[in-house]
Amino acid sequence: MSTQSDTSSTPNDGISAQQLTAYCDDYLSAHDFKDYCPNGLQVDGGQPIRRIVTGVTACEALIDAAIADNADAILVHHGYFWKGEPAPLTGMKGTRIRKLLTHGISLITYHLPLDAHPKIGNNAILAELLDLEITGGLYPHELHPVGNIATCAPQTAEALATKIATALGRTPLHIAAELPNDDGLIRRVGLCTGGAQDMIEQAAEMGCDAYISGEISERTTHSARELGIHYFAAGHHATERGGIEALGEHLKAEFNLPVTFIDIDNPA
Ligand SMILES: [Zn+2]
């Protein structure tokens, strides 16, 4: 919560959580998505927003950091109220939400709309970091594809693994496969950040030589080997820092508000 004494260090009187959310909804086409959680304003802190903290997940450590930063809003990719989870605000969930409300902090979440945005989305940022050129969606008929197909300069799987490690600061888990082409080089890559390992079959179907996502399941190894497609598990957290950080930068410029990206380290 901002106290009256810090308004002198802020550039304006702030905006309401509803205003900020309406802008983001529109910018990210949030209403076009069927998602696993509500997108937009999840917790209304009841204060004008003068300082924003962004982060990947609305965990307690991020909330504590936002309180220390005197933020009025937290913007995340992974918020609360996931489909199928118990509704009561008790235990860990109760503690998190109590902290938000006690400090007048609003929680704003964008999940799939933030994966898919063509400019500041998680996939778009990952593609840019890895010198991949997005050519379309993994599922070509989706209005806003949450996974993409991209082309790249012909390269070995080892070279791509090194590129991923350098770009994300984390060595990916690489499941090698034998490609059906003559030189074994990767030219066409499927990508979908986060926990999208099961879209590997679709990537193979779309003729990709490699598929990059965040997580890996036991079964993914066999899929990669049997489908003849390299798989790179680049980290759920590591592949999803880009979108929310970029959204924060965009809002900073749009509303002239201080926005701080806070990375709560997560090796998974
Ligand atoms: Zn995710």
Per-residue pLDDT tens over the stretch 160-206: 999 999 999 999 999 999 998 889 999 999 999 999 999 999 999 99
CA 121 → CA 22, 113, 207, 211, distances in Å? 18, 8, 23, 18
- pLDDT for res 13: 85
Q: How far is the CA of 41 from the centre of ligand 1 (A)?
A: 18
Q: How far is the CA of 77 from the centre of ligand 1 (A)?
A: 7
Kindly state the tokens that stand for 263: 């990375």
Q: How far is the CA of 265 from the centre of ligand 1 (A)?
A: 14
Q: How far is the CA of 240 from the centre of ligand 1 (A)?
A: 6
Q: How far is the CA of 214 from the centre of ligand 1 (A)?
A: 8
Per-residue pLDDT tens digits for 17-71: 999 999 999 999 999 999 999 999 999 999 999 999 999 999 999 999 999 999 9
- pLDDT for res 165: 98
Q: How far is the CA of 196 from the centre of ligand 1 (A)?
A: 9
Tell me phi and psi for residue 108, to 5 degrees.
-120, 130
Taking residues 77-97, what's their average pLDDT? 97
| Long-range contacts of 126-135, Cβ-Cβ distance < 8 Å, separation of 24 or more | 126/167, 126/191, 126/193, 126/212, 126/234, 126/239, 126/242, 127/191, 129/167, 129/168, 129/242, 130/160, 130/163, 130/164, 130/167, 130/189, 130/212, 131/163, 132/189, 132/191
Q: For residue 6, is pLDDT > 80?
A: no
Q: How far is the CA of 17 from the centre of ligand 1 (A)?
A: 23
Q: How far is the CA of 194 from the centre of ligand 1 (A)?
A: 4
Q: How far is the CA of 113 from the centre of ligand 1 (A)?
A: 11
Q: For residue 4, is pLDDT > 70?
A: no
Q: How far is the CA of 172 from the centre of ligand 1 (A)?
A: 17
Q: For residue 12, is pLDDT > 80?
A: no
Domains of the chain: 4-110 (3.40.1390.30), 116-236 (3.40.1390.30)
Per-residue pLDDT tens digits for 242-257: 999 999 999 999 999 9
Q: For residue 10, is pLDDT > 70?
A: no
Q: How far is the CA of 256 from the centre of ligand 1 (A)?
A: 28
Q: How far is the CA of 78 from the centre of ligand 1 (A)?
A: 6
Q: How far is the CA of 34 from the centre of ligand 1 (A)?
A: 15
- pLDDT for res 8: 42
Rounded CA-CA distance 216/234 in Å is 9
- What pLDDT band is residue 5 in, cutting at 50, 70 and 90? very low
Q: How far is the CA of 19 from the centre of ligand 1 (A)?
A: 25
Q: How far is the CA of 122 from the centre of ligand 1 (A)?
A: 9
Nearest Cα neighbor of 239 from 221, 262, 261, 266 is 266
Kindly state the tokens that stand for 218: 């036991």
Q: How far is the CA of 215 from the centre of ligand 1 (A)?
A: 10
Q: How far is the CA of 168 from the centre of ligand 1 (A)?
A: 15
Q: How far is the CA of 112 from the centre of ligand 1 (A)?
A: 8
Q: How far is the CA of 8 from the centre of ligand 1 (A)?
A: 37
